[in-house]
Amino acid sequence: MRNAPTILHLDMDAFFASAEQASKPSLRGKAVVVGGLGLRGVVATASYEARVFGVHSAMPMAQARRLAPNAAYLVPRFGLYREISEQVMGLLRTLSPLVEPLSLDEAFVDLEAGGTAWDEASARRAGAKLRADIRAVTGLTGSVGLAASKMLAKIASEQAKPDGLVVIEPGTERALLGPMPVRTLPGVGPATGDHLRRGGITTVDEIAEAGEDELVRLLGKAHGHALYAMALARDERPVVAERETKSVSVEDTYDVDIHDRVRVGLEVQRLADRCVERLRRAGLSGRTIVLKVRRYDFSTLTRSETLRGPTDDPAVVREAAGRLLDAVDTTGGVRLLGVGVSGLADYTQEDLFAQARAREAVEETAAQELPAVETGEEPAAEQVTAAERRWPAGHDVRHAEYGHGWVQGSGLGRVTVRFETPDSRPGRVRTFRTDDGALEPADPLPLVPRRPEEAPGVSAGAPGRT
């Protein structure tokens, strides 16, 4: 391990919820919950005000509503979050060429590799400047941890939350880790934690005292060795700039179980197309098609088929996913479907036989297309119209008379909109018919207005809201 705290871990504070609060003045300082709002939705992020009531990420949304009935419940705006994430990752890359993103709002940075820090004082300066730059560019806050290893830097950023900076000085690691619960260490989830607890081990110190042999006996060779090393604060993992993508997948959970076999097939086709879109955006192809089906009783089945070569052809992926579905019994109902592609490559080797079979299947379907209504599918033009008139809670709209706003809620043919922008005062609320021609979906506004001539980098002195 290093002798200076030059590995930085950044974790944005309640990222999705904080972005929503920054863009909606009426929600600042209030409980905000972002996630799926359907019957089976889960919480993606909760603001710190919502966490006071016990709401946390991955919690069923129904439970969150019981705990915090007066919170604002919003549908995620991933386009906005990705845009902010790109700004933040750009700032990290000015510190070092070795930036390892873990998610949209979290990353490791090797400050030493960028010549940005070489001792504790320079690391502190880099961390403080990064936090100021993030606030200036995005209007949001992030917590920074600095240590001599990735594991400890992440622990430090957790201690820094919210909106803080914590440095773990080399030489103090064992004393810091000792009294912490075992769940603090990476890779110790609920199951491993319970297994250790049954063995009388509840703290990191007790892991070290138990010894490597006992951990191997309890957890197996690989996990036991790794956990013992972490308990002794040993972590030699480097910051890796490019993490290899192993698979690309998409999945949907349905509010009501799907029983109609035709509908299940159509959903699988749609998911296959979405998966290929994501594959192509990443400039990748793959040779193994994976189907995931979670049935009414929560049993989950995964089926896969490996093609002759990698492909990014939607017809090929649809046809393979359809074959996999043929082997799955969905009689009792389906609550989740997913389609993925693995065995990735950055080139394609078209499976001509699969394409030919797919074209034949399409032609057969077209020949039987007359009773389209029997499948429950509307004509394409009507589908577009219906999609255009959906008003997800929290999403941006623009009214011809009142300007920019966001959807507070909709139902019974009405949509309620609050008209405000990131730089305005809390706005007024108005209600319209959902088919009001003056109201239309809009793109999110930037959280921090920027002058056109301002370069994409950042200045720590740039104006930002507090």
- The catalytic residues are 106
Distance CA 366, CA 7 (A): 58
- Phi then psi for 254, rounded to 5 degrees? -105, 140
Cα 358 to chain centroid distance, Å, stands at 33
Query: What are the two backbone dihedrals, phi and then psi, of residue 409, each rounded to the nearest 5 degrees?
Result: 175, 165
Nearest Cα residue to 161 out of 325, 47, 11, 340: 11
- Beginning with the edge strand found earlier in the chain, give each strand of the sheet holding 99-103 in spatial order: 99-103, 106-110, 7-12, 142-147, 165-167
In the sheet with 43-46, reading across from the earlier edge strand, the strands are: 43-46, 32-35, 72-74
What phi and psi values does residue 238 have, to the nearest 5 degrees?
-85, 160
Quote the CA–CA distance of 15 and 68 in Å, as a whole number: 19
Query: Reduced to 3 DSSP states, what percent helix, strand and coil does the chain have, rounded to the nearest 5?
Result: 40, 25, 40
The Cα 302–Cα 56 span in angstroms is 29
Angle between helices 261-281 and 314-326 (to 10 degrees): 140
Length of the chain: 466
Judging by DSSP bridges, how do beta strands 106-110 and 72-74 pair with one another? unpaired
- Indicate the angle between helix axes 78-93 and 15-23, nearest 10 degrees: 110
Radius of gyration for the alpha carbons in the chain, expressed in angstroms and rounded: 25
CA distance to 47, 80, 88, 137, 239, per residue, from 131 (Å): 19, 20, 10, 10, 20
User: What is the Cα–Cα distance from 304 to 147, expressed in whole angstroms?
Assistant: 42
DSSP state of 182: G
Extract the runs of DSSP E, i.e. beta strands, from 264-349.
285-295, 300-311, 334-345
What is the DSSP code (8-state) at residue 19? Answer: H
Q: Which two tokens stand for residue 410?
A: 């909709």
Could you give the CA distance from residue 321 to residue 304 in angstroms, rounded to a whole number? 8
How many C-beta atoms surround the C-beta of residue 374 within 10 A? Answer: 8
